[in-house]
Amino acid sequence: MSVVDRSFILYPVQARDTLYSIATGLGSQIPLIERANALYPPFTEPDLIYPGQMLVVPVFHDNQVNQIISRGDTLYQIARDYYTNIDILQGLNPEIQHPNFIYIGQVLRVPGFIYEVEQGDTLNSISQQFGYTLTTLLQANRRRPGLSADVIVPGYQLVIPYPSSTNILVMRPFPGAKVRSGQTLSGYARAFEGSILYQVLDSSGRTIIPETAVQTSAGGPSYGTFSVAMSFEQEPPASSGEIWVYTRSAKDGSVQDLVKIQVRFH
């Protein structure tokens, strides 16, 4: 699986922009931008970009994905693009005091990561690999050049939303990743007294890690970060399974805010 674990900026092309000005202004390189967005023949003329297009721009810091706000953007639309909600966006960007107050040129951290297309991939196979519908994958990459539902080329870099619920966002491991005992489970969560739960099951329903409590760095109503090394009780017999991250209701003990992450063991 070709997840690119580095930093990216999602950049909306402006009038009079060139690849040179974008690369220079964001600290990237033209060949990296061209490859990430299929900006080469036969898909487009060399260096041909249009205002309104959204470019994936590889950069060299922070190890996260940021998006630059352009005219007409709203937190509601951005949340929809990433199959999440406004609260998650505010949790990642605590400087946002009101959901209606964002401005052109503002840089927001967004709840997504980048996947580089490999030989033999299709958009359908990629969406299934990460547990999303094709519609969700296309929505996360709307306004991108060089992309259609029928054609995708190796090297193209797709935006993939992180798995989330209203109050929990799981950032590691990536969906579809191969995991082992000792690997880190991490993300953001908003929970009463900062307490969340997780467990790991294989595809046959066997318990690999029983329900385990994790403390976040902050209690509700704030979002806190969490990070824990997962310790398997047994070697998973099946080749795949799921990680469940959730809370339980204080009233009846029912599962709340469940996020499921598909993973591989072998």
- Indicate if 7 and 55 belong to the same structural domain: yes
Instruction: Indicate whether 135 and 209 sit together in one domain.
Output: no
Q: What is the DSSP string of 211-252?
A: EEEEE-SS-TTS-EEEEEE---SS--SSSEEEEEEEEE-TTT
Global pTM value: 0.92
Q: Do 99 and 51 share a structural domain?
A: yes
Residue 175 shares a structural domain with residue 111: no
Q: Which CATH number characterizes residue 225's domain?
A: 2.60.40.650
Q: Are residues 45 and 107 in the same domain?
A: yes
My answer on whether 18 and 137 are in the same domain is yes
Domain span at 243: 168-264
Residues 98 and 196 in one domain: no
Domain's final residue, options 128, 143, 161: 161
The domain boundary residue, chosen from 161, 196, 230: 161
In this structure, the answer to whether residues 127 and 16 fall within a common structural domain is yes
Of 122, 145, 161, the position where a domain reaches its end is: 161
243 by Cβ neighbours in 10 Å (0-12 / 13-18 / 19+) ranks as buried
Residue 25, C-beta contacts closer than 8 angstroms, at least 6 positions apart: none
pLDDT of residue 149: 82
Contact 179, 230 (CB under 8 A): yes
Q: Which amino acid makes up residue 56? A: V
Indicate which CATH number applies to the domain containing 99. Answer: 3.10.350.10
Instruction: Please give the distance of CA 34 from its chain centroid, rounded to a whole number.
Output: 22
Clarify whether residues 199 and 236 are in a common domain.
Answer: yes
Residues 95 and 204 in one domain: no
Q: Do 257 and 192 belong together in one domain?
A: yes
| Angle between helix 19-26 and 30-37 (nearest 10) | 110
Nearest-angstrom CA–CA distance, 53 and 91: 27
Is residue 245 domain-shared with residue 186, that is, in the same domain?
yes
Q: Which residues pair with 11 in a beta bridge?
A: 55
pLDDT in tens, the chain (266 residues): 589 888 999 999 999 999 999 999 999 999 999 999 999 888 788 778 999 999 999 998 767 999 999 999 999 999 999 999 999 999 999 999 888 889 999 999 999 999 999 999 999 999 998 989 999 999 999 999 988 888 789 999 999 999 999 999 999 999 989 999 999 999 999 999 999 999 999 999 999 999 999 999 998 889 999 999 999 998 999 999 999 999 999 899 999 999 999 999 98
CA atoms within 13 A on the CB side of 10: 30
Asked if 258 and 244 touch (Cβ cutoff 8 Å), the reply is yes
The count of domains in the chain is 2
Q: Which DSSP string do the residues of 16-67 spell out, in sequence order? A: T--HHHHHHHHT--HHHHHHHHT-STTTSSTT---TT-EEEEE-SSTTSEEE
The Cα angle at residue 31 between residues 11 and 154, in degrees rounded to 5: 90
